[in-house]
Chains A and B, each alone.
Chain A
Amino acid sequence: MAKANYEVENRAPEPSRLGAEDKSATGVIDEEAPEHTDTEELHKDHEAVKEAQKSRLSGIDRDSLIDLYHQMLLVRRFEEKSAEAYSSGKIGGFCHLYIGQEAVGIGAISAIRKDDYVLCSYREHAHAIAKGMSPESVMAELYGKAGGCSKGKGGSMHMFDKEVNFLGGHGIVGGQIPLATGVAFASKYKGTDQVTLCFFGEAAVNQGAFHESLNMAQLWKLPCIYICENNQYGMGTSLARAMSSQDISQKACAYDIASEFVDGMDVLAVREATMRAVERARKDYLPTLLEVRTYRFMGHSMSDPGNYRTRAEIERHQERDPIKLFAASLKEEGVLKDSDFQRIEAEVSEQVEKALLFAEESPLPDPDELFTDVYANPIEPGKR
């Protein structure tokens, strides 16, 4: 079996690793400073990425391609509407949007079965929907309504659905990594061939939980796929300011785990890398670490003014919008026509409107729900 980093040739070339490297160590961003972006170089890079994606199209049937595009657009529009609902006070608390990162969750989850497990951080609305939860139940949860997937008790950061093996939404950075390792442990203990996908941001890699989990996963050969969504910022702190060695996929070496570096703006690249990892996990109970380089177009959460990065930097990444890229590939290869795009946009719009309507109309949790679900086996003290 392959040793750590056996897929080194899959590493992205340097020019596509935009972002963290050019940040000053202080993190102070001067809006007036000249941008060193070479637009011609950038354009060439985009074309190369697109050609790479187009070369992958032939391996997938048309319906699956349409489904991938549909899901990416659905979660984009879902998040845009969530932002609106947050701004108008319908959604409270924290609300971490996935805009810009769609290719990661959608691509990876498209590579697993319905009975496989998914665990996420608090930026998980899209993963929940991709795993098969209804946009209605996710939006109603954001609204804190009884019809929400967690009965309105979890909110944005704690989406759960046992029916589709979506095991949360976890709010402490890196907290889901040992949990996912335990879910994978249970699959092996029970002798099933279910795999577990564990999503987390790159900031979680600095937590002990990450290192403790990877060590045990390889030590005990657990079918867990660790997907680091490297969006290059832990809240407002750039990777360069937070991580001494910023090559995350290389950290797998310390635990002898197979790893890959993946372009997170290319949904098909993510899907293919995940499929390779899934095969290792299903057949041989082996874990994998995927470092998926992506970028979030919005702030860390809805309350983040985002003054730690320049408009120019964000725009440069928006040029590589994973949905725009995929749409261009599908169109240029003749998979979808303009009328198809319009039809999908309309379908998605209808789905999101339906979710909003459901959330609006869903009742508030019964006040007595405050006291339910604390214990699975509530004990009346003193009762023998």
Chain B
Amino acid sequence: MAVVTMREALNQALREEMLRDENVFLMGEEVAAYDGAYKVTKGLLAELGDKRVIDTPITELGFAGLGVGAAMAGLRPIVEFMTFNFSILATDQIINSAAKMLYMSGGQFKIPIVFRGPGGSAFQVSSQHSQAIESWFAYFPGLKVVMPSTPADAKGLLKSAIRDDDPVIFIEQERMYGNKGEVPDDVDFTIPLGVADVKREGKDATIVARSLMVPVALKAAELLEKEGVFCEVIDPRTIRPLDIGTIIESVKKTNRVVVAEESHPFCGVGAEIASEITERAFDYLDAPVKRVSGADVPMPYAKNLEDRAIPGVEQIVAAVREVSYL
């Protein structure tokens, strides 16, 4: 296994799946000649040609809808949003077309499409370019939502998403593209959608974290171990469908839960997880489920304010202490 960045792992997944199936094509802003705004698509134009790797105008609603139409006619598009902030313009086609086509056609038209790109907080780009909107997409039946936290997960999950017959929202974390990790180079390596991963085993408290919050939660667990508190860190990896079973098993063991997320708390994925735990494992809880979320404000520009808006190790440590009555 080679050690590569998240960016390179995603690139490998794209390349391997495009070589595997000629019906897979990639389109988006700056994905081809520019080699990708974040270089995730680097080298793909040169290797696969401009029929398969297509630069679009800045026209998110248009090319998202074009992708859904191409999927109706039998292709398997990968649509890159330069960032998920811009997917907001395309939500009509993602929600009203991609998510519902199979259902409202009585099962006739499946939409095998991947909408991918960076999401979540970025580095000092202020309110419109720094936000986590996975809960919007996760709300809708018909969509699958994936958020990897390691290079290996990114590669294995993206390959599964491309092979999947349903629309998949694949949100990469902009701050994590340079993170490194071991990644299998076997072209048949995939990770199934809908399966959570226990990133660290523990017995005293469960931390459920996704995307950017996974390394933060692991760091918090390291610190807490020094105090004799052993945390289990669970990464759902797929937000919809959610592998709640793995989370519940952990809660039954630890009896204490913290849900960490960089998104806003209100109507968020953390709220959903907390609700599921309460419904399914209330009797096992020794403390109320505690959420650690991003600040309930638009993202500010100033570095000190931005740092304060995104949960850090200290908040997660404090939350675990709180549910542990320490």
- Measured CB to CB, the residues of A under 8 A from B are 117, 119, 148-154, 158, 160-162, 167-172, 175, 177-187, 189-190, 208-209, 212-213, 215-216, 219, 372-377, 379-384
Contact = CB atoms under 8 A, between A and B. Distances in A.
Nearest to B193: A379
A316 to B, nearest CB: 37
B110 interface: yes
Contact of B241 (A152, A219, A379): A379
Contact of B103 (A153, A168, A185, A379): A153
A377 B66 contact: no
B104 to A, nearest CB: 4
B137 interface: no
A377 B162 CA distance: 12
A376 B102 contact: yes
Contacts of B56: 216
Contact of B51 (A153, A189, A373): A189
A376 B112 CA distance: 9
Most interface-central of A152, A178, A186, A208 (chain B CB within 10 A): A178
A160 B62 contact: no
Interface in B76-111: 77, 92-93, 96-97, 101-111
Contacts of B164: 377
Given A182-B71, A186-B70, A382-B246, A208 B61 contact: yes
Contacts of B57: 212, 215-216, 219
Contacts of B194: 379-383
A383 B196 CA distance: 10
B323 to A, nearest CB: 24
Contacts of A184: 69
A375 B73 contact: no
B49 interface: no
A182 B107 CA distance: 20
B195 A171 contact: no
A381 B242 contact: yes
A373 B107 contact: yes
B144 interface: yes
A330 B171 CA distance: 61
Contacts of B65: 175, 177-179, 181-182, 209, 213
A232 B21 CA distance: 46
Contacts of A219: 57
A384 B195 contact: yes
B72 interface: yes
B63 interface: yes
B208 to A, nearest CB: 14
A209 B64 CA distance: 10
Contact of A152 (B61, B106, B244): B106
Most interface-central of B57, B62, B111, B166 (chain A CB within 10 A): B62
Contacts of B110: 376
Given A178-B68, A372-B107, 17 more contacts: A149-B106, A150-B105, A152-B106, A160-B109, A179-B93, A181-B62, A182-B72, A182-B77, A189-B25, A190-B75, A209-B62, A209-B65, A215-B57, A216-B57, A374-B141, A382-B194, A384-B192
